[in-house]
Amino acid sequence: MNSDTPSTLVALLYGPDYKGIVAKVSGWIFENSGNIIHADQHRDQEEGIFFQRVEWSNEGSLSAESVAQSFHEFSESVGMKSIVAVSHRKPKIALFVSKFDHCYHDLILRWKAGEFDCDISLIISNHEDLNASSDHYGIPFHHIPVTKETKAEAEAQQLTLLRDNAIELVVLARYMQVLSADFLAKFAKPVINIHHSFLPAFVGARPYHQAFRKGVKIIGATAHYVTADLDQGPIIHQGVANVTHRHSIDAFIQKGRDLEKMTLSQAVRWQLENRILVYENKTVVFD
């Protein structure tokens, strides 16, 4: 593509650090008619790993897709793993929801306000509550009930929907079911969850109740990638709010809704802007 407004490319790359890698990357981009708009890098001093996010406008005659492919090959030739995204291609995402609707509305309204450069292609829920609302928003809604007995089958249905719609990101917007390791392995793309506590405190069920009983003075929410280990995946973002003895559990839950919305939406934005690299169960977020 070579229209009037040039496409931009974003590459995330990482690998063993060595002298000259920054020069190699920026040199390649220059030689391939790119103009670097942003570049941010990080070096893990202990582990000797190099991380970089570089964004450039494609000002040559080749299509952005073909530059992306070339860059990927180049990065491997210099010892780096990479993910390269092209600005004019919108990733398709799916929201998983249950009954709580605050993150659901928040994400969709942000998307409609232009905050997220993606397509929200479908909603999957184990309940029917948000069916009418999804209709109003014009987003296909799929009701897939989940019980202990039907879980495997339900996940198979979900996977079919994700594959048929070429979904690249699943966001669990207070989805109250645990995804199996098998599901995650088969989907093999990022799944982001919002946990309503300041992890690693209060893993598991009813974290606001746990926090209340403990008498903490700050509550939190944690957006993280989902792994087979419950609430243990790499942390992307955390938010907190002060509470006092005056706050009941209901007040924790109400305050928590704002935390969850702010924290999850920030994580999704970073994901869509290709700002996150994962290594050793931690994240590097180029914000």
**Given the DSSP bridges, would you call strands 49-58 and 34-44 parallel, antiparallel or unpaired?**
antiparallel
For residue 3, give the 3-state DSSP assignment: coil
Backbone angles phi and psi of 35, in degrees to 5: -115, 115
Residue 246 as a binder of a copy of itself (CB under 8 A): the answer is yes
* Of residues 93 and 219, the one with the C-beta less far from a copy of itself: 219
User: Which of 63-71, 117-125, 187-195, 251-259 is the region at the interface with a copy of itself (rule: CB under 8 A)?
Assistant: 251-259
* Of residues 155 and 247, the one with the C-beta less far from a copy of itself: 247
* Of residues 64 and 162, the one with the C-beta less far from a copy of itself: 64
Residue 282 as a binder of a copy of itself (CB under 8 A): the answer is yes
Kindly tell me which residue out of 85, 127, 257, 273 binds a copy of itself, with binding defined by CB under 8 A: 257
Cα gap 222→40, rounded to integer Å: 24
Residue 5 as a binder of a copy of itself (CB under 8 A): the answer is no
Tokens 């990479």 identify what position? Answer: 82
Residue 36 as a binder of a copy of itself (CB under 8 A): the answer is yes
Kindly tell me which residue out of 16, 27, 48, 145 binds a copy of itself, with binding defined by CB under 8 A: 27
Residue 204 as a binder of a copy of itself (CB under 8 A): the answer is no
Kindly tell me which residue out of 1, 176, 201, 228 binds a copy of itself, with binding defined by CB under 8 A: 201
Task: Based on the residue annotation, tell me whether 231 is a catalytic residue of this protein.
Answer: yes
Residue 127 as a binder of a copy of itself (CB under 8 A): the answer is no
* Of residues 162 and 174, the one with the C-beta less far from a copy of itself: 174
Kindly tell me which residue out of 40, 73, 76, 229 binds a copy of itself, with binding defined by CB under 8 A: 40
User: Which of 39-47, 90-98, 161-169, 181-189 is the region at the interface with a copy of itself (rule: CB under 8 A)?
Assistant: 39-47
Residue 236 as a binder of a copy of itself (CB under 8 A): the answer is yes
Binding site for a copy of itself (CB under 8 A): 19-23, 26-27, 29-30, 34-43, 45, 51, 59, 101-102, 105, 109, 113, 115, 136, 198-202, 214-218, 220, 234-238, 240, 244-246, 248, 254, 257-258, 262, 281-285, 287
Hey, which residues are catalytic here? Answer: 231
